[in-house]
C-alpha cells in the first residue's frame, strides 16, 4: 500500500526509462522468459517489485510500472488466446495484486507469440515516457494566458518546460513559493529567470497574502492517487487551501507514470505526510537547540482531490472525478 512506502525524491522520466529497461533485461529478456507462460511472467514481475521494496527512492513509480506491465501481460495473453481460437473467456478487472493466485492458475497456457506481444506493448510505453514533458508542454497555451499571475511551489522539470512553452507566445508572471530547506524553490526561480520569465520568489508564510492577486496555481506532484488526490511537495496542501479560500483554480501537471492505482483510506491520511530527518531543519552541530526543540520535517503532503480542479497529463486532461478512467485503462484488463 501507499502508506507502507516512503518517497525520498522524485523519479525523473529518464529514471523511469532506465527502470523499464531494467525490467525488460531481468524479467522479460532473460533466457528463462523465452518459453514462460503469462502466469510465470507475472510472478517474476512480483518478485522484481518485492526486491525494490524497503523505502527506496521512487518506489511508488516502480509499483506503478509493474502494475502497468502486469496489465500488458494479461492483455497480451488474451490476444494470444483469441488468436489460438480457444473458448477461454478473457480475464477481467485484474490488477497486479492477486493474493489469491486464482487468476494466475488460469494463465498457464504457453503461447509462442506472448513474449513478442508483451514487448511490442512495452515499446509503446517507452515511447510514451520519452515524450511525457513535451506532450504536457504542448497544452500550455490552453491554460496560460497573457499577463496572468501564476503561483507554484518547489521545483519540477515538467512545470519548467510547461512555463517555457507558454512564454513563447505570452508574457506572464510566476510567483515561486519556497517551503523546504532543500531550496528547490530557489532552483526553480533561477531556471525561470534564466528563461526570461518574470519571477518572484516568496517565503511560504506570504502565500495567503499574495493569493488575492493570483489568477491560478500550477503545480507538479510526486504521485497522483486513484481518487484524484496528490502526494506532492511539502507545503502544497497549504498552498491549495489558500487557493480554495480565494477561489483560485489549482492545475496539476504530471505524467501518467505517476498515477497510482491505490486509493487512500480516510484513517490513513496522516501517514501520507512523510517525515524526514530533523537535521533538515536543525543541524546536529547546533547541540543546544536540538536538545531543547522538537523538530518536525515533513517531506510531502497529501492533497485531497476536492482542492484540485484540473489534472494535465501526457495523454489528456482530467478532473479528479474522472481520473479513474485513466486508472482503469492503465491497470485493469477488459
Q: Identify the pLDDT of residue 318.
A: 93
Task: Give Rg (Cα) of the chain.
Answer: 22
The more confident residue out of 205 and 279 is 205
Q: How far apart are CA 20 and CA 11, in angstroms?
A: 12
Residue in the structure block whose three cell numbers are 525561470 = 192
C-alpha cell at 293: 526543540
Q: 317-334 pLDDT, tens per residue? A: 999 999 988 888 888 755
CA 171 to chain CA centroid, nearest Å: 29
Place 99 in a pLDDT band, splitting at 50, 70 and 90.
Answer: very low
Q: How far apart are CA 35 and CA 28, in angstroms?
A: 10
Residues forming beta bridges with residue 302, ordered by sequence position: 231
pLDDT at residue 186 greater than cutoff 70 = yes
Dihedral in degrees, nearest 10, Cα atoms 9, 12, 18, 20 = 90
Q: How far apart are CA 11 and CA 258, in angstroms?
A: 9
Helix (H, G, I), strand (E, B) or coil at 333: coil
State what percent of residues in the chain have pLDDT above 90. 35
The more confident residue out of 261 and 245 is 245
Q: Identify the pLDDT of residue 105.
A: 44
Q: Identify the pLDDT of residue 269.
A: 61
> For the chain, what is the mean pLDDT?
79
Q: Identify the pLDDT of residue 96.
A: 46
- Residue 44 has a CB neighbour count (10 Å cut-off) of 19
Identify the CA nearest to 38 among candidates 120, 99, 115: 115
| Range among 10-14, 265-269, 329-333 rated most confident | 329-333
Q: Identify the pLDDT of residue 95.
A: 47
Q: 42-63 pLDDT, tens per residue? A: 787 777 777 665 444 456 777 8
Residue in the structure block whose three cell numbers are 504536457 = 136
Mean pLDDT across 133-158: 93
Q: Identify the pLDDT of residue 207.
A: 94
Mean pLDDT across 82-109: 52
Q: How far apart are CA 50 and CA 21, in angstroms?
A: 17
Dihedral in degrees, nearest 10, Cα atoms 251, 252, 256, 258 = -160
Identify the CA nearest to 261 among candidates 333, 332, 319, 314: 332
Q: Identify the pLDDT of residue 165.
A: 95
> Any long-range contacts for 312-315 (C-beta under 8 Å, 24+ apart)?
312/136, 312/139, 312/143, 312/251, 312/252, 312/253, 312/254, 313/136, 313/254, 313/255, 313/256, 313/259, 314/128, 314/131, 314/132, 314/135, 314/136, 314/255, 314/256, 315/128, 315/135, 315/256
Q: Identify the pLDDT of residue 78.
A: 79
Q: Identify the pLDDT of residue 126.
A: 81
Amino acid at each position: 500500500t501507499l502508506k507502507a512506502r516512503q518517497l525520498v525524491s522524485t523519479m525523473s522520466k529518464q529514471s523511469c526509462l532506465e527502470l523499464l529497461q531494467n525490467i525488460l533485461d531481468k524479467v522479460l529478456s532473460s533466457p528463462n522468459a523465452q518459453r514462460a507462460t503469462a502466469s510465470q511472467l507475472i510472478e517474476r514481475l512480483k518478485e522484481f517489485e518485492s526486491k525494490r521494496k524497503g523505502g527506496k527512492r521512487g518506489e511508488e513509480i516502480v509499483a506503478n510500472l509493474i502494475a502497468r506491465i502486469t496489465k500488458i501481460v494479461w492483455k497480451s495473453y488474451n490476444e494470444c488466446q483469441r488468436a489460438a481460437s480457444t473458448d477461454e473467456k478473457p480475464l477481467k478487472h485484474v490488477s497486479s495484486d492477486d493474493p489469491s493466485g486464482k487468476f494466475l492458475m488460469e494463465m498457464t497456457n504457453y503461447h509462442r507469440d506472448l513474449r513478442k506481444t508483451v514487448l511490442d506493448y512495452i515499446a509503446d510505453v517507452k515511447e510514451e515516457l520519452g515524450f511525457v514533458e513535451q506532450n504536457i508542454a504542448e497544452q500550455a497555451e490552453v491554460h496560460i494566458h497573457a499577463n496572468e499571475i501564476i503561483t507554484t511551489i518547489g521545483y519540477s522539470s515538467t512545470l519548467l518546460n510547461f512555463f517555457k512553452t507558454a512564454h513563447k507566445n505570452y508574457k506572464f508572471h510566476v510567483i515561486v513559493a519556497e517551503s523546504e530547506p532543500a531550496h528547490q524553490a530557489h532552483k526553480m526561480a533561477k531556471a525561470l529567470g534564466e528563461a526570461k520569465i518574470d519571477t518572484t520568489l516568496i517565503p511560504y508564510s506570504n502565500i495567503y497574502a499574495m493569493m488575492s492577486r493570483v489568477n491560478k496555481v500550477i503545480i507538479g506532484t510526486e504521485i497522483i492517487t486513484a481518487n484524484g488526490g496528490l502526494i506532492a511537495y511539502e507545503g502544497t496542501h497549504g498552498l491549495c487551501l489558500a487557493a480554495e479560500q480565494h477561489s483560485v483554480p489549482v492545475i496539476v501537471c504530471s505524467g501518467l507514470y505517476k498515477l497510482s492505482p491505490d486509493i487512500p483510506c480516510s484513517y490513513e491520511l496522516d501517514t501520507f505526510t512523510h517525515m524526514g530527518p530533523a537535521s533538515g531543519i536543525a543541524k546536529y552541530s547546533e547541540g543546544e537547540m536540538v536538545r531543547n526543540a522538537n523538530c518536525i520535517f515533513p517531506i510531502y503532503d497529501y492533497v485531497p482531490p476536492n482542492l484540485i480542479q484540473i489534472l494535465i497529463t501526457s495523454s489528456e486532461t482530467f478532473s479528479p472525478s474522472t481520473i479513474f478512467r485513466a486508472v482503469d485503462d492503465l491497470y485493469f484488463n477488459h
